[in-house]
Structure 1
Amino acid sequence: MPEKQSTGNAKAVAERQRRIQAQVAEADRKEKEGNGSMQAGARTYPEPPFPKQHQPKPGSEAHLNPEPMYDAPFYLGSKKLEGKVALITGGDSGIGRAVAVLFAREGADIAISYLVEHADAKVTQGAVEHEGRKCILLPGDVAKRRYCQEAVNNTVEQLGRLDVLVNNATFQVHTSKLEDLTPEHFDTTLKTNLYGYFYMAQAAVTHMEPGSAIINTGSVTGIKGSKQLLDYSMTKGGTHAFTRALAANLMSRGIRVNAVAPGPVWTPLNPSDKEAEDVSTFGSQVPMKRPAQPEEIAPAYVFLASPQCSSYITGEILPIVGGY
Structure 2
Amino acid sequence: MCPYETEDNEVETVVERQREIQDDVADADRKKTKKKRAAMQAGARSYPVPPYQAQHQDKPGSEADLAPTPMYDAPFYKGSGKLDGMVALITGGDSGIGRAVAILYAREGADVAIAYLSEDEDAAETGRLVEAEGRKCLLLRGDVRDPSFCQTAVEKSVDVLGRLDVLVNNAAFQVHSKTIEDMTIEHFDETVKTNLYGYFLMTKAALDYMKPGATIVNTGSTTGIGGNWQLLDYSMTKGGIHAFTRALGSNLMSRNIRVNAVAPGPVWTPLNPSDREADEVAVFGANVPMKRPAQPEELAPAYVFLASPQCSSYITGEILPVVGGY
TM-score, length-scaled by structure 2: 0.92
CA 24–201 in structure 1, closer or farther in 2 if over 3 Å, else same:
same
Structure 1 residue matching 2:49: 3-state secondary structure = coil
2:311 to 309, 312, 315: 309
The amino acid that maps onto 1:239 is I
1:139 aligns with 2:141: yes
Q: Distance in 2 between matches of 1:321 and 1:304?
A: 17
Instruction: Kindly report which structure 2 residues correspond to 1:1-324, keeping only aligned pairs within 5 A, or say none.
Output: 17=23, 21=26, 23-25=28-30, 27=32, 29-30=34-35, 32=36, 35-324=37-326
Q: Distance in 1 between matches of 2:313 and 2:161?
A: 24
Structure 2 residue matching 1:154: 3-state secondary structure = helix
Give the C-alpha shift of residue 21 in structure 1. Answer: 4.2
Structure 2 residue matching 1:179: 3-state secondary structure = helix
The amino acid that maps onto 2:135 is R
Q: Which residue of 1 aligns with 2:6?
A: none
| Cα distance per residue 1:152-207 (max 9 Å; x no partner) | 00000000000000000000000001111100000000000000000000000110
CA 184–28 in structure 1, closer or farther in 2 if over 3 Å, else same:
farther
Give the C-alpha shift of residue 27 in structure 1. Answer: 2.4
The amino acid that maps onto 1:29 is K
TM-score, length-scaled by structure 1: 0.92
Aligned residues: 308
Structure 2 residue matching 1:122: 3-state secondary structure = helix
Structure 2 residue matching 1:138: 3-state secondary structure = strand
Q: Distance in 2 between matches of 1:297 and 1:151?
A: 25
Q: Which residue of 2 aligns with 1:9?
A: none
Gaps of 5+ in 2: 1-18
Q: Distance in 2 between matches of 1:142 and 1:100?
A: 18
| Cα distance per residue 1:100-129 (max 9 Å; x no partner) | 000000000000100000000011000000
Structure 2 residue matching 1:29: 3-state secondary structure = coil
| Cα distance per residue 1:223-276 (max 9 Å; x no partner) | 000000000000000000000111111111111000000000000001110111
Give the C-alpha shift of residue 84 in structure 1. Answer: 0.2
The amino acid that maps onto 1:109 is D
Structure 1 residue matching 2:32: 3-state secondary structure = helix
CA 177–26 in structure 1, closer or farther in 2 if over 3 Å, else same:
farther
The amino acid that maps onto 1:131 is E
Q: Distance in 2 between matches of 1:22 and 1:174?
A: 45
Q: Distance in 1 between matches of 2:42 and 2:175?
A: 31
Give the C-alpha shift of residue 29 in structure 1. Answer: 1.5
Q: Which residue of 1 aligns with 2:4?
A: none
| Cα distance per residue 1:5-43 (max 9 Å; x no partner) | xxxxxxxx99x95x964652452513x1xx310000000
Identity %: 70
The amino acid that maps onto 2:320 is L
Please tell me the root mean square deviation across aligned C-alpha atoms, in Å. 1.6
